[in-house]
Structure 1
Amino acid sequence: MSDAYKKAGVDLTAGYAALKTVKQLSGNDQLGAFGGLFPLADQDLTADPVLVAGSDGVGTKLLVAIAAQQHTTIGIDLVAMCVNDVLAQGARPLFFLDYLGLGKTESTRVQAILTGVVEGCRQAGAQLIGGETAEMPDMYTQDHYDLAGFAVGLANRRDLLTPANVRAGDVLIGLPSNGLHANGFSLVRDILFKQHAFALTDEFSELGHSLQAELLRPTQIYVDSVWPLLIRHRVASMAHITGGGLIENVARALPTGLSAEFAWGSWPVPAIMPLLGELGQLTPQDLRETFNLGLGMVLVVHPEERAATLAQLAANRQPAYQVGRVVTGDTPVVFKEAVNG
């Protein structure tokens, strides 16, 4: 094989090795074809099936992983960002594809990244059926890379979660996040590393560990916890709390004329978020519009389903909090102090 392409900066042999690695990690020997295959014969197809697709990336959290030289969990973030969106529509994730663009195919790093992708798919119950590893010198520096993903799920059309299902008096149930997840990192990095010049190895008493350990917590995947609720039709609508924080994302799960009234103080907020607020002199509105504030998913359930929903979540060992209610109003999301007792 001519080495002209390698001299230009692209190592095809390293790319083939990366494909072999992901085949071994995923156990899918079909990877490497021109298209990924997913058989529908084994699926519980309804009379009116709908495919639900979602695509996302990890954003500038990648820069933290690169600086820390810790790449084993960033693939979980990638899968989570996609499958949680699909789940929020009421669909069960079926399969996933990834895209990895980098300046140089370094085998140890690529294996670490793909290990996370495979683990994320395992947690989501989704099959990794394909992807692309693109070595692009001059597009990326040698140490930098980017990740994107694409997930597809299946739902019965009548079971899709939409704002139209929501009514005044519904209950808001929050599922805790695993910290920042993969959102707001441009602001996080600005506060911690530009405004204050902290190091990833720095520790804070509020956190009990290093910034690296905190910032690289992988995004929680909620499929195992939430799907049993969906098949029992317990959830009316749902919001995956990503970029835009509680305010923007919860608003997307509500119809016009109804408002999500959160009882502030009814759930624990991870210490990193008020710490960022203090260091960056952020307002409460800044925090609510940027971070998940401790809630990775917000479920909207009818009052008659509240007890059964909380019981099912407890049975699945999923912590959950009743964090508010749906009321009539023109402001989509409002916050009121929790009333004890």
Structure 2
Amino acid sequence: MPGLYARGEFELAGFAVGAVERSQIALPAKQRMENGDVIIGIASNGFHSNGYSLIKSVLESQNIELNDPCPWNPQQTVAINLLLPTKIYVNTLLELLRSGRVKGAAHITGGGLVDNIPRILPSDLIAKIDMSTWPIPDEFLWLASAGSISASEMVNVFNCGIGMVLIVGRKDVPYVEAHLQSRSERFFKIGIVEKPKTDSTEKSESEQVDHNKVELENLEVAFQQENKVVPTLSNANHVNRKRVAILISGSGSNMLSLIHSSKKAASVYEIVLVISNVETASGLLKAEEEDIETSV
């Protein structure tokens, strides 16, 4: 991971493997899934530790540092927000899964909805997801806007507000919803399982499993921000910034430090003019390269 590990450093990670008794129902129960089953999405609490390379790239492009106020939540620093522990659903779901009312469960991690839901579907069914059925959280809207990231790429990288997906038979939906409400979970009915439309193009079984398993409706609409105020660099961190002019007479080395500092998200000032009493001062050219007006 560039920018994370120095030479000689390493990461220690652990994992756990679950075991299911033969007498219990193993998930996903693909043989029980059928046309019309309901897809329920349980809300995430953030990025869930995925897509951080892309997040880091966007933050750097916006000159935002870890200790700066978070663009989508100015009450926190970027570091505090990104270090928010991933929401774990075991306490919410363990009893529910043991009840046999859930046919499949997918944790939405790296790869987003598009890559994770297909893992729990049989080859003859697809997931049809309506992206307008839940509000896309501010952090994902900001990232898409600031990084000029397409809606298609967003759902292929991030959870976009849905951390866990359940596939439930129609008759069991009220039971599952009541259980989730009792655990104070935010959840949404985000789609259904259905048979794919017939395709005249012949495909192998492996191709049917790997491709076109998730259809997304209202994808672009979900990421439109006309009706929602999303914190940006201009309205979250640059409010009431002081407009400053700098007087130089030489190379402007101190001027450059001030300019670079002003471009950080937490800056309370912006450099709007560089003035020099020396017409040939090299600092004037440097200011122009930073798109700042100059005057002699």
Q: Give the shorter-chain TM-score range.
A: 0.5 to 0.7
**Residue of structure 2 equivalent to 1:265:** 132
Q: CA deviation at 1:61?
A: 11
Specify the code of the residue in structure 1 equivalent to 2:142.
L
> Cα 1:211–1:229, aligned 2, differ >3 Å: closer, same or farther?
same
**Alpha-carbon distance in structure 2 between the residues aligned to 1:61 and 1:188:** 13
What SS class does the counterpart of residue 20 from structure 2 fall into? strand
Q: CA deviation at 1:155?
A: 1.7
Asked which structure has the greater CA Rg, the reply is: 2
Q: Does residue 1:236 correspond to 2:84, yes or no?
A: no
Match of 1:150 among 15, 19, 24: 15
| Structure with higher RCO (Cα < 8 A, 6+ apart) | 2
Q: CA deviation at 1:283?
A: 0.8
Q: Deviations over 1:270-310 (max 9, x none)?
A: 21111111111111110010000011100001111100000
**Residue of structure 1 equivalent to 2:49:** 182
Q: CA deviation at 1:205?
A: 5.4
**Alpha-carbon distance in structure 1 between the residues aligned to 2:59 and 2:49:** 16
**Alpha-carbon distance in structure 1 between the residues aligned to 2:53 and 2:72:** 22
Q: Does residue 1:225 correspond to 2:92, yes or no?
A: yes
Match of 1:216 among 76, 80, 83: 83
What SS class does the counterpart of residue 80 from structure 2 fall into? helix
Q: Does residue 1:159 correspond to 2:60, yes or no?
A: no
**Residue of structure 2 equivalent to 1:199:** 65
Q: Deviations over 1:306-330 (max 9, x none)?
A: 0000001111222221111111116
Alignment of 1:45-64 (within 5 A): 63=4
**Residue of structure 1 equivalent to 2:289:** none
**Alpha-carbon distance in structure 2 between the residues aligned to 1:249 and 1:219:** 17
Counting aligned pairs with the same residue, the percent is 34
Runs (4 or more) in structure 1 with deviation over 6 Å come to none
**Residue of structure 2 equivalent to 1:139:** 8
**Aligned residue pair count:** 203
Specify the code of the residue in structure 2 equivalent to 1:224.
N
**Residue of structure 1 equivalent to 2:118:** 251
What SS class does the counterpart of residue 262 from structure 1 fall into? strand
**Alpha-carbon distance in structure 2 between the residues aligned to 1:290 and 1:210:** 23
Q: Deviations over 1:32-60 (max 9, x none)?
A: xxxxxxxxxxxxxxxxxxxxxxxxxxxx6
Contact 1:174 1:296 in 2 (8 A): yes
Contact 2:36 2:193 in 1 (8 A): yes
Q: Deviations over 1:82-135 (max 9, x none)?
A: xxxxxxxxxxxxxxxxxxxxx8xxxxxxxxxxxxxxxxxxxxxxxxxxxxxxxx
Contact 1:62 1:146 in 2 (8 A): no
**Residue of structure 2 equivalent to 1:314:** 181
What SS class does the counterpart of residue 236 from structure 1 fall into? strand
What SS class does the counterpart of residue 226 from structure 1 fall into? helix
Contact 1:169 1:303 in 2 (8 A): yes
Specify the code of the residue in structure 2 equivalent to 1:295.
I
**Alpha-carbon distance in structure 2 between the residues aligned to 1:281 and 1:172:** 30
What SS class does the counterpart of residue 252 from structure 1 fall into? helix
Match of 1:281 among 123, 137, 148: 148
Alignment of 1:295-314 (within 5 A): 295-314=162-181
Please say which of residues 327-336 and 292-301 is displaced more in the overlay.
327-336
**Alpha-carbon distance in structure 2 between the residues aligned to 1:303 and 1:61:** 47
Match of 2:37 among 161, 170, 176: 170
**Alpha-carbon distance in structure 1 between the residues aligned to 2:146 and 2:193:** 33
**Residue of structure 2 equivalent to 1:336:** 217
What SS class does the counterpart of residue 273 from structure 1 fall into? helix
**Alpha-carbon distance in structure 2 between the residues aligned to 1:281 and 1:205:** 15
Q: CA deviation at 1:204?
A: 4.6
Could you tell me which runs of 5 or more consecutive residues in structure 1 were left unpaired when the two chains were aligned.
Answer: 1-59, 67-102, 104-137
What SS class does the counterpart of residue 152 from structure 1 fall into? coil
